[in-house]
Amino acid sequence: MSFKNQWAVILGGSSGLGLASAIKLASEGMNICIVHRDRRSNIPEFEAEVSKLKAFGVAIKTFNRDALNREVRNIIISELPANSVKVLLHSIAKGSLKNMTNDEACLSKQDLDITIHAMATSWYEWTQELIQHNKFSDCARNLAFTSEGNTRVWPGYAAVSAAKSVLESLMRSMAVELASLNITSNCIQAGTTKTASFKMIPGSEKLAEMSKKRNPFKRMTQAEDVANVVFLLCKDEAKWINGTIIKVDGGESLR
């Protein structure tokens, strides 16, 4: 109950790491605001998950709206109480998976711009809006998901890799500049996890098998593994963790 009356704003929280984090935080007493973008056919499955969240007895807000739109962002933020947002969690997975040598569908600058905005600079925009509207609580946590693709090269992953590099650079600067507001900023680097966005990566099945071989525990990372660390970073004991990339991969990235 240490999170009573506090909110988690989760961008991209209808599945994968974002949804797992929502479930974990709700189970610990935190109110949940999920911003997602889903097709109508996916809504029944998501609503079933929302029912599970409500069973924890916390307040739930969901918005099937474009988190990248400024007007939408302001509408959502206006519905949150002042000084109530304990954690902003950026889990948007929207980007180009084109390679650089396909003449018919080659990665373009526009593809890069869209991906970097969706998966990096939108985090900064949401952070600034929450600050300007006085929504963050004291000792707030500003978190985003990155990946091992920040340094490794995978075919078709160039735009996402560039976005993750921007994301991490923003994190470091926010960690320093927002410290005066008592806000910490960190990135979580999850191990290979079979989320919907991961399955869209070209050759994802091969990457999954490789990750099992590389991992000292011989299994892939589960979304719940990552959600547990999101929760740990929200605890008072984690208030001195700031400006770092926390690997949650069981040691997979060591090999």
DSSP secondary structure, 204-221, as one string: HHHHHHHHHHHSTTSSPP
Label residue 196 by pLDDT band (50, 70, 90): confident
Distance between CA atoms of 253 and 168, rounded to whole angstroms? 17
Q: What is the pLDDT of residues 105-147, one digit of tens each?
A: 899 999 999 999 999 999 999 999 999 999 999 999 999 999 9
214 in a structural domain: yes
The bridge status of strand 136-146 relative to strand 85-90 is parallel
Say what the pLDDT of residue 152 is.
83
Q: What is the mean pLDDT of residues 191-205?
A: 82
Q: For the chain, give the percent of residues with pLDDT over 90.
A: 81
User: Dihedrals φ, ψ of 182, to 5°?
Assistant: 65, 40
**Quick one: which of 23, 71, 72, 73 has its CA closest to 46?**
23
Distance between CA atoms of 248 and 35, rounded to whole angstroms? 24
1 in a structural domain: no
Label residue 86 by pLDDT band (50, 70, 90): very high
What CATH number corresponds to the domain at position 105?
A: 3.40.50.720
Say what the pLDDT of residue 230 is.
98
2 in a structural domain: no
Asked whether residue 179 carries a pLDDT value surpassing 90, the answer given is yes
233 in a structural domain: yes
User: 132: buried, middle or exposed (CB in 10 Å: 19+, 13-18, 0-12)?
Assistant: exposed
Asked whether residue 1 carries a pLDDT value surpassing 70, the answer given is no
Range of the domain at 174: 7-254
Q: What is the mean pLDDT of residues 165-176?
A: 98
Number of domains the chain is built from:
1
Q: What is the pLDDT of residues 200-233, one digit of tens each?
A: 777 778 888 988 999 999 999 999 999 999 999 9
